[in-house]
């Protein structure tokens, strides 16, 4: 482990899954999920969970930018900083074209805002939302959106907004809704495994 990430390393890995946690969580939050997603892959995959740069205002956990109240003015710098971190992975033996970026909640918003401009194999936004004024590029990686119908933290309307925005790109976004709230339930793990396999084929 280093200061800004946790890594499930495979020295023979040919592909990679990068995880972005939600507001108030930390890099360890999605690591077990990431390991489960890659466990069925026919490729050797490493899992990297990035740690958000800022301390949560309550002193436990991290944040990509202030959210309550939302510090939207800090989003452009947060995205620029994250893009630099993501591009650093492209200098390794595993390129971004063999990498999937998955984010949850605030991390999902960050994944879509930063990843649509980069050559990832695919992007997954879980319980995500669009940043104000965000417009995805015409050419972008394929996107899967997961959202609970009863999400009380990030309302379901947020994923509908995302899909509408992403419709303007050349590749349609895929939306998977589930019965439940602000979470990534076990029932969607097979879909995530299937999506990883198809994007890595």
Tens of pLDDT, residue by residue, the chain (201 residues): 457 999 998 889 999 999 999 999 999 999 999 999 999 999 999 999 999 999 999 988 999 999 989 999 999 999 999 999 999 999 889 999 999 999 999 999 999 999 999 999 999 999 999 999 999 999 999 999 999 999 999 999 999 999 999 998 878 899 999 999 999 999 999 999 999 999 998
* DSSP labels, 91-160: TSSS-GGGEEEEEETHHHHHHHHHHTTTT-SEEEEES--PPTT----SS---EEEEEETT-SSS-HHHHH
Identify the structural domains of the chain with CATH numbers, from first to last.
Answer: 5-199 (3.40.50.1820)
Instruction: Report pTM.
Output: 0.96
Interstrand relation of 45-50 and 5-8 (parallel, antiparallel or unpaired) = antiparallel
Distance in angstroms between the alpha carbons of the first and the last residue of the chain: 29
CA dihedral defined by 180, 168, 66, 88, rounded to 10 degrees?
100
Q: What is the pLDDT of residue 74?
A: 98
């Amino acid at each position: 482990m280093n200061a800004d990430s946790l890594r499930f390393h495979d020295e023979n890995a040919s592909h990679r899954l990068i995880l972005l946690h939600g507001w108030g969580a930390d890099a360890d939050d999605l690591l077990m999920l990431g390991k489960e997603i890659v466990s069925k892959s026919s490729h050797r995959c490493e899992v990297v969970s990035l740690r958000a740069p800022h301390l949560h205002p309550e002193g436990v956990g991290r944040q990509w930018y202030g959210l309550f109240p939302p510090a939207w003015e800090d989003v452009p710098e947060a995205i620029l900083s994250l893009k630099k971190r993501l591009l650093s992975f492209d200098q390794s033996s595993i390129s971004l074209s063999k990498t999937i970026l998955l984010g949850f909640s605030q991390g999902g918003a960050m994944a879509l805002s930063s990843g649509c401009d980069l050559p990832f194999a695919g992007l997954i936004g879980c319980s995500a939302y669009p940043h104000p004024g965000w417009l995805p590029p015409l050419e972008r990686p394929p996107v899967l959106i997961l959202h609970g119908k009863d999400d009380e933290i990030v309302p379901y309307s947020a994923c509908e907004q995302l899909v509408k925005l992403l419709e303007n790109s050349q590749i349609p976004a895929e939306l998977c809704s589930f019965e439940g709230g602000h979470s990534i339930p076990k029932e969607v793990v097979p879909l995530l495994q299937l999506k990883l396999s198809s994007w890595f084929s």
